[in-house]
């Protein structure tokens, strides 16, 4: 299961960058080489699965937006050459750092172990031993 699509990468990085990143000798240089981009997305998704496999049942039922973002960032980095710009490398390293923390159980991707949306219980519960000062307890002082 891929965590991103070509459309998601195009939305994040633009058509011109995908044309540049997917340029190969055997394909026209003015269109996106779909096979190259799809392979990069598959490789990135497989890498993400390697980090998630120990903590989540795969494939995930719900794919968090964060995983789509990381998949795009990893695929973009892997499509690069030796002169990859620093900001692309930084985003790749951030994704790997996050996924490493998920694998260690330090962070969550926002789904339960079955890959479903996690149930958030964001209601506060307050308990008290009761009132300290009341008319009944103050015996005429109030």
Question: pLDDT (tens digit, 9 = 90+) per residue, 72-115?
Answer: 999 999 998 888 899 999 999 999 999 999 999 999 998 876 54
Is the residue at 28 inside a domain? Answer: yes
Q: What is the pLDDT of residue 25?
A: 79
Is the residue at 1 inside a domain? Answer: no
Whether 116 has a pLDDT exceeding 50, the answer reads no
CA dihedral 44, 49, 52, 54 (to 10 degrees): -140
Whether 123 has a pLDDT exceeding 80, the answer reads no
Is the residue at 100 inside a domain? Answer: yes
Residue partners of 5: CB distance under 8 A and separation at least 6: 41
Q: Please give the residue range of the domain that contains residue 133.
A: 6-138
The tens digit of pLDDT for each residue in 12-34 reads 999 999 999 998 877 677 899 99
Domains: count for the chain:
1
Is the residue at 19 inside a domain? Answer: yes
Confidence of residue 1 (pLDDT cuts 50, 70, 90): confident
Q: What is the mean pLDDT of residues 39-59?
A: 95
Whether 121 has a pLDDT exceeding 80, the answer reads no
């Amino acid at each position: 299961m891929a965590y991103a699509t070509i459309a998601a990468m195009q939305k994040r990085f633009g058509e011109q960058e995908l044309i540049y990143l997917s340029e190969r000798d055997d394909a026209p240089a003015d269109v996106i080489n779909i096979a190259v981009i799809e392979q990069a997305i598959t490789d990135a998704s497989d890498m993400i699965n390697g980090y998630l496999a120990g903590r989540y049942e795969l494939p995930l039922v719900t794919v968090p937006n964060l995983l789509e973002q990381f998949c795009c960032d990893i695929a973009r980095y892997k499509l690069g050459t030796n002169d990859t710009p620093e900001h692309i490398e930084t985003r790749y390293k951030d994704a790997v750092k996050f996924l490493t923390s998920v694998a260690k159980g330090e962070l969550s991707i926002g789904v339960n172990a079955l890959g479903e949306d996690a149930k958030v219980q964001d209601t506060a519960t307050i308990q008290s031993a009761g009132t300290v000062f009341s008319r009944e307890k103050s015996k005429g002082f109030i």
